[in-house]
Amino acid sequence: MIKEAINLLVQGKNLTENEMTGSMRDIMEGNATDAQIASFLTALRIKGETVEEITGAAKVMREKVMKIKAPAHTVDTCGTGGDMSHTFNISTTSALVVAACGVPVAKHGNRSVSSKCGSADVLEALGIKIDLEPQKVEKCLEATGFGFMFAPLFHPAMKYAVGPRREMGIRTIFNILGPLTNPAGAERQVMGVFHDRLTEKLAQVLANLGVKHAFVVHGEDGLDEITNTDRTKISEMKDGRVNTFFIAPEDLGFKRAEKTALSGGDATENAKITIDILGGLKGPKRDIVIMNSAAALITGDRAEGLPDAIKIAAEAIDSGAALKKLKEVKTISSSL
């Protein structure tokens, strides 16, 4: 199937969902050569991926992933990365705040790709065990409301594409598939994307995959987060319908910040930033964490709208619940 698909793609033709699933199965079952994989990914990137193509690819990855059971209303906060902004770990810090608010979080992530510090790197620096197998992640999620799924352990079929992707050195469809293939099958999601043209497209893909409520976001400053330095484009998908709108930090009662105020560093530095925020330190870093936590609380049905959700997230930090949650996850994950 992949040879036929490459021929279509180099002619600039879109693939059907079935053609895409057939090609992805060839890749993920070891039936495609490295040259075919690289040609396929390059031709697809040049043409531009459609909703149907991304949906088909994500369905195959979801078939192949090592799955875990998760409570209802479980949320994932995972971005595509690749925004090259070198911020601290905003979505990971937000995930701990959300868990402290009583919404279960199945965080899906990896080590650094385009930044100095990925979600796995900072969680490891915080003392959380990141390489738990599926059954232990389930136990951690059940006990603490937070579970981390280290992508390489949960996507063994991805091994066939690792070499070609590394040698190509360009962004491919796999960069957007990670957040679409949560092993817990989370039906609630906040997904940051590296380009504004992707918000509606990926919101529709999430609807096709059975997700119930999601915010797909892109900051006009380039961040794959809800940002407090500029406006944010948000495509909200709820029950299959997509609505796109823009918000500015002032709309939510926050001061506009400079992008440099959100800078991070290596895993040790970013872990300290996370601890400081969860410990109540005020400033732009706290503000952006609260904004992103609020979106996740809405998708998880913990709050009705952003003003209410912002109050709940702030209270989780100010009451000490968020820092307590971090310590709890650290203790439980290390004991499993």
257 neighbors 228 (Cβ within 8 angstroms): yes
Residue 309 falls inside a structural domain: yes
pLDDT > 70: what percent of the chain? 98
Residues 41 and 169 in one domain: no
Q: Concatenated DSSP letters for 186-238?
A: -SEEEEE-SSTTHHHHHHHHHHHTT--EEEEEEETTS-SS--SSS-EEEEEEE
What is the pLDDT, as a whole number, of residue 82? 66
Residues 243 and 331 in one domain: yes
- Looking at 27-31, 130-134, 158-162, which range is the least confident one? 158-162
Looking at per-residue pLDDT, the higher value among 109 and 54 belongs to 54
Residue 317 falls inside a structural domain: yes
Residues 175 and 307 in one domain: yes
Distance of CA 317 to the CA centre of its chain: 22
What is the pLDDT, as a whole number, of residue 191? 97
Q: Is the pLDDT score of 111 beyond 90?
A: no
Residues 171 and 281 in one domain: yes
How many domains are there within the chain? 2
Residues 23 and 91 in one domain: no
Rounded Cα distance between 152 and 131, Å, is 9
Q: Can you give the length of the chain in residues? A: 336
The Cα angle at residue 20 between residues 205 and 51, in degrees rounded to 5: 25
Alpha-carbon dihedral angle through residues 316, 318, 321, 326, given to the nearest 10 degrees? 100
Residues 82 and 124 in one domain: yes
Number of H helices, E strands in the chain: 15, 7
Residue 57 falls inside a structural domain: no
| pLDDT band, very low/low/confident/very high, at 271 (cuts 50, 70, 90) | very high
Residue 44 falls inside a structural domain: yes
- The kind and range of the H/E element at 63 are helix 51-64
Q: Is the pLDDT score of 28 beyond 70?
A: yes
Residues 6+ positions from 72 with CB-CB distance below 8 Å: none
Rounded Cα distance between 122 and 269, Å, is 9
What is the pLDDT, as a whole number, of residue 275? 99
Residue 219 falls inside a structural domain: yes
256: its two tokens: 């506009």
Supply the DSSP symbol for 243. E
The Cα angle at residue 200 between residues 197 and 204, in degrees rounded to 5: 135
45 neighbors 173 (Cβ within 8 angstroms): yes
What is the pLDDT, as a whole number, of residue 117? 86
Q: Is the pLDDT score of 114 beyond 60?
A: no
Domain CATH number, residue 185: 3.40.1030.10
pLDDT > 90: what percent of the chain? 91
Residues 142 and 278 in one domain: yes
- The kind and range of the H/E element at 77 are strand 75-77
Rounded Cα distance between 68 and 187, Å, is 13
Residues 119 and 202 in one domain: yes
Partnered with residue 218 across adjacent β-strands are 233
Distance of CA 146 to the CA centre of its chain: 15
What is the pLDDT, as a whole number, of residue 81? 72
User: What SS3 state is found at 75?
Assistant: strand
128 neighbors 98 (Cβ within 8 angstroms): no
Q: Is the pLDDT score of 257 beyond 80?
A: yes
61: its two tokens: 């990855």
Summarised one tens digit per residue, pLDDT across range 258-269 is 999 999 999 999
What is the pLDDT, as a whole number, of residue 249? 98
User: What SS3 state is found at 259?
Assistant: helix
Domain CATH number, residue 14: 1.20.970.10
Domain boundaries, position 25? 2-48
Residue 148 falls inside a structural domain: yes
Rounded Cα distance between 76 and 167, Å, is 30
Q: Is the pLDDT score of 116 beyond 80?
A: no
| pLDDT band, very low/low/confident/very high, at 215 (cuts 50, 70, 90) | very high
What is the pLDDT, as a whole number, of residue 150? 96
146 neighbors 329 (Cβ within 8 angstroms): yes
Residue 221 falls inside a structural domain: yes
Residues 100 and 240 in one domain: yes
Residue 68 falls inside a structural domain: no
| pLDDT band, very low/low/confident/very high, at 115 (cuts 50, 70, 90) | low
Residues 39 and 148 in one domain: no
Q: Stretch 100-106: mean pLDDT, rounded?
A: 98
Question: What is the layout of strands, in order, in the sheet containing 75-77?
Answer: 146-150, 105-109, 75-77, 188-192, 213-219, 232-238, 241-247
Residues 278 and 158 in one domain: yes
What is the pLDDT, as a whole number, of residue 141? 98
Region of residue 117 (left: phi > 0; alpha: psi -120 to 50; beta: else): beta
Residues 43 and 86 in one domain: no
